[in-house]
Each structure stands twice: as C-alpha cells, then as structure tokens.
Amino acid sequence: MSIRVKMIDALGEVLGASWANPVKVALFGTGAGDYHSPTSFTATQSGPNTITLSGVNPTINNASEFRAVRAYNATGGLLGEWRNSGRYQFSYNATTSILTVANANFGSAASLAVELHAEHRGWSPSEAAWQDYQVNPEHAWTAENQNVAATQGDGTTPYYYDLDMYKFQGFQITDTPGAAGDNTYTIHGSWEDNGTADTAAAYVDMTLAWFNVASVTSGMIAADASAGVLELDEAITCKFIKIQVVRANDGAATDGGWTIDQRRTY
C-alpha cells in the first residue's frame, strides 16, 4: 500500500520543500544555515505576541529570515507553533531586537523557541551539532536502517526513528507471524523537539491519518505484501517517528518475527 500524504497548514498551503524546488547547497562557514534559540541566541517573551532577542547576529535584519516560533509549558509540552505566513506575519526590528508575530498569542508560555535561517557567523566545532548544512536533495538517499526481530512472543516492541531534518520517509514491513500468533503495526509521530529523547517524547498515533487504516496486521501483509509498505512521499514535519509492534495470541510460544526497513531522503 502506497499512500500520498499532504501536510497542510491553516491557510491551505502544503508544508515543506518540494522535489522541484531543492534548497540545500552550502559548506562549512559559507552560504546559509539554521539557528535556534536557546542554543545560538536567547528569546524572551516581551508581550502577547512579541519576543525580545539577544545575541542574534547583527546582520540579520529581515523578518523573512525567521522560520518559526514555538511556545512550551513548564514541563516542555508544545503549546503552539507559528510560522511566517499570511495570517501570522513576522516583523523584526533590528534596532530593538524585537520579533513580532501578527495574530499570535503566546499566552502563559514558560519558554519560547525561535528558529531562523540566515548567513553563517562562521563555523566552529561547538556549533556543529545545531547548524544545518545544506546538500542537493536529488538522489540524496541515506543508508537504510533495518530492524529485525525473530522468534518473538507476546508483547509490545517500539522502534524509534529521528527524522533529522529529512522530510520524506519510507518503511517496508516483512512479517513472519508464526503459527498461532499475529502482529499488529501502528505508526506514530512526535513533534516534541526540545531535547527530549525519542523514547520519552509524546507521540500521536498517525496510522489512520497517514495511511487510511487504523493498523497493519499480519493478515493484511499475508494477503497483500504491499500492505506492509508505509510510504510518506510528501513532506512531513514531525521530529520523531515510532513504529510500534504488538504481538498477541502467541501464548507461550515464540515463533513470530518481523523485519522493518527504513529509507529517508530530503
């Protein structure tokens, strides 16, 4: 089963870059890169929809360089996200270092995170973890990731995948249900991007939304192997993906297994 998925914002615009519009091209110390608070500068709420920035590169003076603002509660939960758009238009005063997001309301957020895309200040090893280096997306496949489980008994097994700035994902599940048991697969997304580990992030079951089925089972894959192909061939914006496998009806036996192959690309 191959289903196309479009992630659409409130204005009806498709999110993410397209194959026809590759955007990635630069090397260390040249071109443009991504910067995030609080790693590269600080962002403090100064009003219902205004943010005072500190430590931003003084060459940044155009609101179009800002990509997103996210608000978090005291426990790190995401309260809201605003992207520079017709409704939530960003404006930036380089003199006062104040960023304004039209029609936004940050409420009682405990912290704000600001993301911008601008010229490099110069590369250094300490910044390598958060700068986004750009590459040509055409044919930019990564090495595949494979998870293999053999002779499993009843229980739940999660697998976690970091999208790591990649937008397109593909999974192939090869199922070996064994004798009496059967496996059920669901795919979950997490947009929690505040340093929380993939195993501790908050996930939403997206199987139905992305693939029009509540789950994929051993029986479905046995009847049609393509049911095990979960292809997200439109850009998605979540931070982590979790594929959860639930094995049941095996009793005391351990004769079922599976193989999950992942591909990701820009």
Taking only the tens place, the pLDDT of each residue in 11-58 is: 444 444 333 333 332 333 334 556 777 777 888 999 999 999 888 777
**Cα separation, 229 vs 56, whole angstroms:** 44
Distances (CA, A) of 21 to 51, 155, 266: 31, 44, 11
Do the domain assignments include residue 15? no
Note the pLDDT of residue 104. Answer: 92
Judgement on whether residues 154 and 122 belong to the same structural domain of the protein: no
Do the domain assignments include residue 156? yes
Do the domain assignments include residue 111? yes
Note the pLDDT of residue 202. Answer: 94
Question: Which residue in this structure is represented by tokens 């192939």?
Answer: 172
Note the pLDDT of residue 181. Answer: 80
Do the domain assignments include residue 2? no
Note the pLDDT of residue 144. Answer: 62
Range of the domain at 192: 145-265
Note the pLDDT of residue 132. Answer: 47
Judgement on whether residues 149 and 261 belong to the same structural domain of the protein: yes
Ranges of the chain whose pLDDT falls below 70 = 1-34, 59, 118-144, 266
How many domains does the chain fold into? 2
**Cα separation, 4 vs 230, whole angstroms:** 10
Judgement on whether residues 155 and 86 belong to the same structural domain of the protein: no
Do the domain assignments include residue 85? yes
Judgement on whether residues 38 and 109 belong to the same structural domain of the protein: yes
Tokens of 156: 């739940």
Judgement on whether residues 183 and 231 belong to the same structural domain of the protein: yes
Residue 265 φ then ψ, to 5°? -155, 165
Note the pLDDT of residue 120. Answer: 45
**Cα separation, 216 vs 199, whole angstroms:** 22
CATH code of the domain in which 233 resides: 2.60.120.380
Answer yes or no: pTM beyond 0.85.
Answer: no
Do the domain assignments include residue 134? no
DSSP state of 178: -
Judgement on whether residues 75 and 179 belong to the same structural domain of the protein: no
Note the pLDDT of residue 191. Answer: 92
Do the domain assignments include residue 7? no
- CA 126 to mean position of chain CA atoms: 23
Note the pLDDT of residue 23. Answer: 33
Note the pLDDT of residue 188. Answer: 95
Judgement on whether residues 108 and 219 belong to the same structural domain of the protein: no
